Each structure stands twice: as C-alpha cells, then as structure tokens.
Chain A
C-alpha cells in the first residue's frame, strides 16, 4: 500500500519484495514500463520526466487506494521515476496482490490506466539530432481511463 516517486533507478526484485512483505499464497501481478527507443519524432536517446511534487504522491496514493477498495487488493505498490532516463530504463513499476488472478490483473491495469491520465507527470523525448519534444497525451489513454469509470467490475 505504498507509493515511491523517485529520481534514481530501481531494482525490480527489490520492489517485488517490498510489495509482498510477509504475505504468501496469493496472486501477484506486476507491470513495468520502459523508455521506448522510437517515437513519432524519431530515435529517442533519453526521456525527461517532469512532475508536480506533492500532487504526484497524493494522486498515486488515491489511485492505489481506489484499486484496493474496488478489487479487494491485499497489497499494492506504485514506483514512478522522474528526471532524465536513458534508453530502456524502467520508468514505472506497479505491483498488486490479491486472492485471485482476476483481481490482481485488473487492479494492476486499473492503476496503470488511471495514472497515465491522472498523475501529474509530463514526458519530454530527447531525440537523435538534438531536438527535445514534449509528448502529447493520447485520446486512447483517456478512453481507457473512462472505460473503468463505466465498468462495474
């Protein structure tokens, strides 16, 4: 039931252990998002992530708490980086623990879909050639978040 917004790289195994703690015998789902090397603008050499300190942690905490209540999660953890990230570095990690896989998967996806449009992060891609472009929000991300509001899972 924790959030970490951090500049430094994270170790996935260590995050997994923090998520599980002393819990055992349940289903666990995790998602890791990485910097992609290609974008509409060209080859990405680095990704810069700006965020709104204070609001970010609050929103991520609210998203996790919503997932916990909605899917009956036994545990969840959200890790999101900010600052300058190199190609193939992990940006975000979400883990959920539930009694059954359906709730673990759904909770993990709900958290990811929600944070995409609700957590105050902004990506800027640094491209091969020196340009840096702010990433535009995608309508499909908003559609996915809205779909959760309509579903009665």
Chain B
C-alpha cells in the first residue's frame, strides 16, 4: 500500500488530504503514480497535478518525479513552499 498526501492549493483543488493506493509493480516512479491518479481522477486531477511547479516528496524528502518508489512509501504532492 502507498500513502499519498496533498497539501495547500493542491489539497484544496482535489478536496483530498490523503488517500491509500494499492501498490502495483508497474508503479515504478512518482511520475507513474501521478499518471495513475490522473487517469482515475480525470480533468480536475490533471489540472492540479500537472502544474509545472508541483513539488514531489517521497518519505518526507523532496525528490525528482523520476525517483523510484517501493511498497509502503509515503508520497506527497504540493506547491512550492512559502514558510519563514
């Protein structure tokens, strides 16, 4: 199982804080997880997750979309950070 979390503007656009996704071997990278979510969710998810500045995180670390994933991972998608 994969845990997928969304924050800020993306969380609001999707009206979803987090979801559990069944792990499958064809979900090799974060990019494939994203494509899978878009194929299930449709236009709204496409618009929210295909923005060019979406940040990808894997197990609490920012990574490139091409980073491989494993069963049990926690994945997050969010806009650029604005703390401080």
Contacts and interface: CB of A to CB of B under 8 A. Distances in A.
Interface string B1-16: 0000101110000000
B81 interface: yes
Interface of B: 5, 7-9, 53, 57, 60-62, 76, 78-84
A49 B82 CA distance: 9
**Which 4 A-B pairs have CB atoms at the shortest separation, nearest pair first?**
A121-B83, A137-B80, A122-B8, A55-B60
Contact of B81 (A33, A112, A120, A124): A120
Contacts of A136: 82
B57 A123 contact: no
A52 B83 contact: no
B84 A52 contact: no
Nearest to A142: B80
Given A52-B5, A52-B7, A91 B84 contact: yes
B79 A137 contact: yes
A114 B65 CA distance: 22
Contacts of B60: 52, 54-55, 58-59
A121 B84 contact: yes
A137 B82 contact: yes
A121 B8 CA distance: 9
Contact of A118 (B7, B9, B79, B81): B81
Contacts of B5: 52
A115 B84 contact: yes
Contacts of A121: 81-84
A122 B79 CA distance: 8
Given A54-B60, A55-B60, A122 B84 contact: no
A81 to B, nearest CB: 10
Given A52-B78, A116-B82, 17 more contacts: A33-B84, A49-B83, A52-B7, A54-B60, A55-B57, A116-B83, A118-B62, A120-B7, A120-B83, A121-B82, A121-B84, A122-B8, A122-B81, A124-B8, A134-B8, A134-B79, A137-B79
